Amino acid sequence: MREMSVNLFISGLCLCLLQTSVSGLTFSLGNLTLFNVNFKTPTLLGRSVAVDSNVRIENDVDPNIQEDSNLNTYGLIHKYGYPAENHTVETDDGYILTLHRIARPGAIPVLLVHGLLDSSATWVMMGPNKGLAYLLYDQGYDVWMANVRGNTYSRKHVKYSTHHAKFWDFTFHEMGKHDIPSTIDYILNYTGVSQLHYVGHSQGTMVFWIMASERPEYMEKIILMQALAPVAFLKHCRSPVVNVLAEWHLSVSLILKMIGVHEFLPKNEFISMFNRIICDETTITKEICSNVIFLTTGFDKLQLNETMLPVIVGHSPAGASTKQMQHYGQLNRAGSFRQYDYGWLRNHWRYGTIEPPLYHLENVKAKVALYYGQNDWLAPPEDVEMLNSRLPNVVTKYLVEDEEFNHLDFIWGIDARALLWDRMLENMRFHENSVI
């Protein structure tokens, strides 16, 4: 759910830049000040951070950052000397998905599933020693990275093109019901093993709960499901972006249908150009870019490697359906974890009930580890606790010790390995004795 951050307000940001003076810039949404930045002392939603303060910007990354921002997932893996592979998965409803692999034949497979508006690149874009996929490979695992329908790498269908409205007629429900089961089957058939590890971030956890609800037989194929910033309930979500989607869901839905917009924040040259303008190497624009990111996810300035912002925006947003975004808004308004709401008449026709059916979280029989942060606006502790109370087989629930740890830090945080990933590896090894 994190990746809409940079781009949702991009047009407004550009207009603001045209109106700024040399001394600074302010951008507000209603009564909320999104950021207030000047050249000497940026103010980050009430937190003043001097340019020469202790904000860490790592300089030990690959010098050719621009190249990394343009390489695809396969290219990134290959560039750094890891065994990269592309695989193609066809779902039972006709979508053609790209699956990336850092190949270690004979090892236990791990499936990494990205979040909203993201792609497989999120696990490797920070580079060796900084990306979870590389760490897992170095620790002896066969690493597979999914791409759900509609993102940069999964934009084909046996019948429809992306120009057809029918192609975009999906939410995360179809991902959990079709994409993830098809991906798991492909990996297990290809490797000849019976189980795999599953690691999901944000929406990547949501689609797992849906798979369990709709196709519970897949729980037997999971060694351990590790949920980073787990999302199901959005009742206590503090992200202004998600809350706006919830508040204006009917208006947004009507407008999008009237103008025929079915894809949300597509990956194209226009979006990429403005991303790079906002997130280039100058201090002022870096501050703007990171503040918009924080607007969606929560603040943790010290864990964001700002040197890598050009790489981040080179790979996000990766595309989603507008229906998918509307579904998030519905969950926020409803306060429950349920299927898409078509309105009472169409609900009755599709579901046989006036209200959308709730997902069956009691079907999540696989072992589950929940990892969450106090400063996560999208998966706040209150909602994670609600999820935990409904899952039948939670073996670990861990609140990251860093009080500022936010939604993005689970995958991009500078100290993610020390704060979280090493613990994940220990949990994986502990539960592997169930694999024959």
- Mind telling me the catalytic residues? 202, 376, 407
According to DSSP, residue 108 is labeled: P
List own/partner pairs for 35-38 with CB under 8 A and 24 or more apart: 35/287, 35/288, 35/291, 35/292, 35/295, 37/284, 37/287, 37/288, 37/291
Strand partners, 112: 145, 199
Distance of CA 300 to the CA centre of its chain: 17
> Could you tell me the two tokens for 288?
């703007």
Using left for φ > 0, alpha for ψ between -120 and 50, and beta otherwise, residue 46 falls in left
Q: Which residues contact 38 (CB under 8 A, 6 or more apart)?
A: 23, 24, 25
CA-CA distance, 187 to 377, in Å (whole number)?
33
SS3 55: coil
Instruction: Determine if the peptide bond prior to 216 is cis (ω within 30°).
Output: no
How open is the CA angle 170-171-175, to the nearest 5 degrees? 90
CA-CA distance, 90 to 88, in Å (whole number)?
7
Using left for φ > 0, alpha for ψ between -120 and 50, and beta otherwise, residue 188 falls in alpha
**Contact in structure between 222 and 196 (CB atoms under 8 Å):** yes
Per-residue burial over 17-46, b = 16 or more CB atoms within 10 Å of its CB, e = otherwise: eeeeeeeebebeeeeeebbbbbeeebbbee
